[in-house]
Amino acid sequence: MKGKTTMTTQNAINWPERYLPGTGDNFVSNEVIVKGLTAAGVWRYLVDTSTWESYYDNVADISFPQGGGPELGEGVRFRFGTFGFPPLDAQVVEFRPPGEGVPGRLSWTAAQNGGPEERLDVLHAWLVEDLPGGRVRILTQETQIGRPAAELAAQRPNPMLNGHQAWLDGLVRAAS
């Protein structure tokens, strides 16, 4: 191998045991690494839900039934529609803005209640970190539990995998 080799260790999502990847009914992981952006610049568009619909067409009807918003923060509760599901009730469970040498971390749980056929339980997590060489890494992963999740996972291609890639691509465009 010619040239200089750079070793790097990248951070990972913090997973509550209930949502550990591979233990639910649907899991996807999407990641981009791009040059010319910063974690702080990306974070701004990720946590401001008023910008989501401008760069991601698979989200709608974002609301904050208990007040607050449109910015996400620790413990914030919100509702949104996605993937054709009725609006999901969500709550931010991890919120740490990026800092010098520290990745930004955002995750929320979301649920659709109802009978066993409709029940859906989700953890959607984001990690945004600056990398050497003026690059930023954006990782999003989601575990879903429930029959609607299993039905999504059985589709080819997986709509959640493609939908989250569209979210990443839109986020990068917005932050550019």
Q: Cβ of 157: how many Cβ atoms within 10 Å?
A: 7
Tell me the average pLDDT across 93-104: 96
**133-170 per-position pLDDT tens digit:** 999 999 999 999 999 999 999 999 999 999 999 999 99
In CATH, which of 1.10.3720.10, 3.30.530.20, 1.10.10.10, 1.20.1600.10 is domain 24-175? 3.30.530.20
**CA 110 to CA 79: how far, in whole Å?**
8
* Residue 8 DSSP one-character state: -
**CA 95 to CA 102: how far, in whole Å?**
12
Going from N- to C-terminal start, the domains of the chain cover 24-175
Rounded to two decimals, the pTM is 0.94
**23-65 per-position pLDDT tens digit:** 999 999 999 999 999 999 999 999 999 999 999 999 999 999 9
Q: Do 63 and 78 contact (CB within 8 A), yes or no?
A: yes
Tell me the average pLDDT across 112-126: 90
Tell me the average pLDDT across 124-131: 97
Higher-pLDDT residue of 88, 117: 88
Mean residue pLDDT across the chain: 94
Q: Do 120 and 146 contact (CB within 8 A), yes or no?
A: yes
CB neighbour list of residue 133: distance below 8 Å, 6 or more residues apart: 35
**CA 132 to CA 161: how far, in whole Å?**
27
